[in-house]
Amino acid sequence: MFVHLHCHSHYSLLDGLKQIKPLVKAAKERGFSALALTDSCSMYGAIEFYEACKVEGIKPIIGFEAYLGPRKLTDKDQQEDKELYHLVLLAENYEGYKNLMSLSSVGHMEGFFSGKPRIDKEMLRRYSGGIIALSGCINGEVPQLLKQDNIEKAKKAALEYNKIFGQRNFYLELQDHPAIEGQLEVNTKIIQLSKDTGIPMVVTRDVHYL
């Protein structure tokens, strides 16, 4: 059964419109048994989401969509550090939930730059326990490298994430958004990358509206 693993709510500030209770209610009405909340850089809605899911009898999957800086989170050069990569992080268990809170806090308190809370791969290594990661939307590091046709760099990045989170804890994310430039071509390359590396795939929709 398909489960939504990449959903934003109104807690994705200026980036989502769905309120928590209508989102969970709609998932229940449409027959979903589980649902993830992955707001941008934050876990503001985690408790409200958990409680709403329990009321509706839906398994809550708590996470957030992280922003990764190109270098260390302490590097804040206006030119070299202006780009960001997206990465979806999901709590597999209570350890993962605590690590997500740590990562979100570090992003806001130490990595904040140009209006965005950022983390880096060093922080991912430190707080990777109990977390399942997805390669993200078209703005993820692996999809961006594939879009640029940097196949070997994309493979290297994918294997690095796989090493950070562990086998079967990192997934290459396929999204059906044909209106986004390059998305379908990236999907084709992700399928091949999965075959070449053995890293499994997962299908999502980058949901911002009910």
**Does 146 fall in a domain?**
yes
H-state helical runs in 90-137? 94-109, 121-126
pTM: 0.95
Count of domains observed in the chain: 1
Task: Identify the CATH number of the domain in which residue 189 sits.
Answer: 3.20.20.140
* Mean local confidence (pLDDT), 129-145: 97
pLDDT at 210 (0 to 100): 87
Q: Which amino acid is at 160?
A: E
**Does 29 fall in a domain?**
no
**Does 121 fall in a domain?**
yes
Confidence of residue 16 (pLDDT cuts 50, 70, 90): low
**Does 190 fall in a domain?**
yes
Residue 15: is its pLDDT beyond 80?
no
Range of the domain at 115: 68-202
**Does 173 fall in a domain?**
yes
What are the C-alpha distances in Å from 96 to residues 11, 84, 175? 20, 23, 25
Tell which residue, 71, 90, 91, 93, has the closest CA to residue 82.
71
**Does 43 fall in a domain?**
no
Burial class of residue 168 in the structure, from the number of CB atoms within 10 Å of its CB (0-12 exposed, 13-18 middle, 19+ buried): exposed
pLDDT at 182 (0 to 100): 85
**Does 42 fall in a domain?**
no
Tell which residue, 163, 156, 158, 165, has the closest CA to residue 190.
158
Q: Is residue 193 within 8 Å of 159, Cβ to Cβ?
A: no
Burial class of residue 34 in the structure, from the number of CB atoms within 10 Å of its CB (0-12 exposed, 13-18 middle, 19+ buried): middle
Q: If residue 203 lies in a helix (H) or strand (E), which one and from where to where?
A: strand 201-204
Q: What's the chain's average pLDDT?
A: 94
